[in-house]
Amino acid sequence: MEKSLNGTVSQLSGSTGDMTRLRTWQLFGLLVVASAVLAWAENEFVMTPEVYRNILGSQLDAERIDAQIDMMSRFRGWGYLTVPVMLWLRLAFIALLVQMFCLLGTIEIQFVRLFRIAAIAFVADLLGSANRLVWLVRQAPSAIDTATLGVMPGSIAGFFLERPQGASGFYTLLSQVNMFELGWVGLMVLGLTGTRRVGTAGAVLVTGGVWALVTFLQFAVALFMQHMGA
């Protein structure tokens, strides 16, 4: 039964690859463009001067807030130029983590192939970012604060917890459990089984381990930010 399941998953993975027919650099280029567009849209329609004043109003006076807004506006263009580098580092980090977990099970998969798998799975992250952006755009600028920016619509946190008043590590942790993260896990599993070097159970274990590690790091960063803001 396990062999039959592995074969079915491999066929699905192969079909996905046939549908894309993009070289890795072409796929990466599309992801860069999509990421840059989402970043631009968030800067233009969400992170407005009024939102910055809501976030920084309790920490800085009006004159310093205006100075920070002006400085961020001037350097915003440079931020878009860093999108390819930051995206490559993110995908490379995921690929290296997957490779490390695979090596623990004496499974060897080329880094280039893992990078491509991570790039395809990143589509789920982009969809999650787009969903969050649409939700934020629909909020009144006066209602957007640090806690609002950390909300992921459709996550377990959104269903079962009240929105925190500030940065919350626990809320951030549960926000990572959502349909887009599940989509990322599914695409990673399909990609790994498509290499025919790891079975379904192994792919789930590897992907789950990577997801848990990355989520823990995000949780730790959220706790640190919560401590800094206290």
- pLDDT of 163 reads 65
Tens digits of residue pLDDT in 47-91: 988 888 888 877 777 788 888 888 888 888 888 999 999 999 999
Task: Report which residue type is found at 54.
Answer: N
How far, in Å, CA of 110 to CA of 113, rounded?
5
Sequential DSSP letters for 141-186: GGG--HHHHT--TTSHHHHHSPPPSS--HHHHHHHT-SHHHHHHHH
The pLDDT tens digits of the residues spanning 89-100 come to: 999 999 999 999
pLDDT digits (tens, 9 = 90+) for 188-201: 999 999 999 999 99
Average pLDDT over residues 149-172: 70
CA distance 144 to 54: 7
Please state, rounded to an integer, the average pLDDT across all residues of the chain: 84
* Tokens matching residue 106: 């004496």
**What single DSSP character describes residue 187?**
H
Give the C-alpha separation, 136 to 42, whole Å: 9
Helices 24-45 & 83-104, crossing angle to 10 degrees? 120
Give residue 179's domain range: 2-229
Beta carbons of 72 and 124 less than 8 angstroms apart:
no
* pTM score of the predicted model: 0.83
Per-residue pLDDT reduced to its tens digit, 163-187? 665 556 677 677 788 899 999 999 9
pLDDT at 19: 41
pLDDT value of residue 67: 86
- Contact (Cβ atoms closer than 8 angstroms) between residue 168 and residue 111: no
Residue predicted with more confidence, 162 or 121: 121
* Alpha carbon distance 145, 202 (integer Å): 41
Residue 116 to residue 187: CA distance in whole angstroms: 11
Q: What is the pLDDT of residues 129-144, one digit of tens each?
A: 999 999 999 998 888 8
* Residue 169 pLDDT: 60
**DSSP tally for the chain: helices H, then strands E:** 11, 0
Into how many domains does the chain fold? 1
